[in-house]
Structures are given as structure tokens and as C-alpha cells.
Amino acid sequence: MLKQRIDFLRQLTETIGPSGMEDDVARLWQENTSKYCVDSTRDAHGNTIFVKGVDNNMRVMLAAHADEIGYMVKYIDDEGFIYFAQVGGLDRHLIPGRQVSIVTKKGVIIGAIGKKATHLQDADEEKKLMKTKECWVDIGVKNKKEAEKIVSVGDYIVPNVKFENIRGDIYTSKAFDDRAGMFVINEVFRLLKGKKINCQLYGVATVQEEIGLRGAKTSAYGIKPHVGIAIDVTHASDNPGSDKKYSGEIKLGAGPSICTGPNITPQLFDALCAVAKKNKIPYQIEADEGVTGTDAAPIQVSRMGVATGLISIPLRYMHTPVEMVHLSDIENAAKLLAAFVEGDIYGINKK
């Protein structure tokens, strides 16, 4: 992948955007994607939508969520320590002892989520998993009055970590879930630039996925797609602690996963697999026996129903500050979707 494309992925993942505060992420994505497709809008909910092609009664929607998990300031005590609530699903084991970024009205400041030193803990405390309401952020002030000059109730907080190269094409970040999916849609428009397609293609950066799949519900209702494909991340099982008998076998670097199950339209699953085979794009099969926890869920049941698919990027350590991906999986997901939109499989492009 070219350095400028990696730099854009870096910007996407490092930009702060928990559920309800996706504007900066959406603006960055919109500015970059407009290089390849100029027709874009933001709806009342905050979803960012790009459109390519004319409406010939075949609307195809690609959706990836812009929001990440994080925290929100709830209370500042008399000593100036900040207490917070979770925004989205976080692992409480990973909350204490971390540096965080707080988005204030005066800009981003750094704080630390404190924890009693292990030397000072008794036996029961060492075994205890702290509740979120017991955790606090220390911003180095003397009291509540000083803290309130800097931080306000309702300010958002995220882990203060960077996009890092581990080795080769393997990278870590706090927010590949689901900025990797947003990047894939951007790449699809890049790959299709200057090409005529016989469908109307919608690329959507949805909001508030992490708190209930909300943006996909409102955007799908407005777009009324005939075909909707969510692009998200999925659990890679090629690391210690993963149970392949439960989650299946998904590997980093082996291609994007194509999901099958009740949330997926069988013909669309077959079509995506056929496109991958025809174009020699590596892919993996993921089986989900229920309703996926992705934007595919609300898309499928929008209005009178939508033919639905799900393409996922293998990811290690989901909902941690060290989410890990392989760049080739992201590239191949984009190639697969671009080829799908260009082709005539599943009756999309009737030439």
C-alpha cells in the first residue's frame, strides 16, 4: 500500500470520534473521498453519504461506522478528579492505568486513569475488577474549580495511543473498528474513479454503531437500497486465547471474511464468493448463526427488507487500544467490493 494511503488510514484511526462525536472523523473521510466522488451529503443524524452513478432502480449501499468506543465525563469531585461512563462496550480490565485524551472546549488535553499502586493493595483489592464508576481521570489540578476551567461534564475521552507499525504490513491502532471499514469504502470509490457503473452506489460512514447500530438504521431508511453490504471488522482467531470451535478460523493476512448466516442473503453471499474466486482475491468464510453485531443487522430489516451482505477485516484484540490488522486484508476487501460493483453478478449490472 502506498505511503499516502497508509497516512490517510493513520489519520482516520488517530482522529477522535466516539459515538455521538463523529464529526471530525466524518469530515476527514469526506474530504479524502471527495477526490474520487464529488456527490456527498450529511443527513440529520450525522451519517456521511457519497453517491456514484444514476438511479436505474438498483441502489447498492456500502456501510462502515465512523464511531469508536470511549468514555464521557460524568462528574468532577472536590479534588478535581474526573469520573466517567462508558460509551460503547469496553473491557473493564483495560480501563485503569492508561493515558487518555479528553476533548474539551479548549482543545484536547491529556489525563491519566489512576489506580492504587500494587504495593498498597490488600489481597482482596488485588483480585478485584474495578467498576467503571470507581475509576477516575487525573489531570493534575488542585481542585474542582481548577478542573472545571478545563473540563466539562459531557466531554469525551479516548485512550491516547497512536497508529503503529508492528512488522511488515501489520499495524495496531485504537480504532481500526471501524475506521478500517471506512477506509475500504474510500478505496472502492478510488478504484472506481472514472469508471461507469450500471447501478447507483452509496458509500456511507454511519454514526453511533457502538451504541445500538443507529446510523445504519436511519441511512438505510433514507437510501432505500436494494443491496446493502456492511464493512466491519471481525475477530481473528490466530492468537492465544481464541477458541476456533466457537468463533471459527479467521487469520490475519488470509483475506477479508465473507459472512454467511441468517443476517445474510444467501444469493448475495454466493455472489461475493464468486467475485472473489473470479478475480483471484483471497477470502475467508465466517459463519454467524444469529444477528451480527454490525450495520448489516438494521440494513437487512429496513423498510420491506434489503438483500444484505457483510465483509469483515480480520482483527486481533477488538475493543482494546491495540487492535491489530494486516493491510493486505483491507486492500483485498476493497478490490472485492469494487469488482462486485463493476460486475454483473447478482443482477446488479445488467448490460
Q: Tell me which residues are annotated as active site.
A: 209
Cα separation, 260 vs 292, in Å, equals 10
Q: 315 with 236: CB under 8 angstroms?
A: yes
Running DSSP on this structure, what letter comes out for residue 131? P
Neighbouring residues of 238: CB distance < 8 A, sequence distance ≥ 6:
249, 250, 251, 252, 316
Indicate the angle between helix axes 176-192 and 327-342, nearest 10 degrees: 40
CA distance 193 to 52: 9
Distance CA 123, CA 70 (A): 30
Q: If we measure between CA atoms, which residue out of 320, 67, 24 comes closest to residue 173? A: 320
- Whether the bond between 329 and the residue before it is cis, its omega within 30 degrees of 0, is no
List the one residue out of 299, 163, 186, 314 whose CA is nearest residue 248. 314
Chain position carrying cell 460493483: 341
Contact 300, 228 (CB under 8 A): yes
3-class secondary structure, 346: helix
The stretches of 75-143 forming alpha helices (DSSP H) are 123-127
Please report the DSSP string for 139-181 in residue order.
-S-SSHHHHHTT--TT-EEEE----EEEETTEEEES-HHHHHH
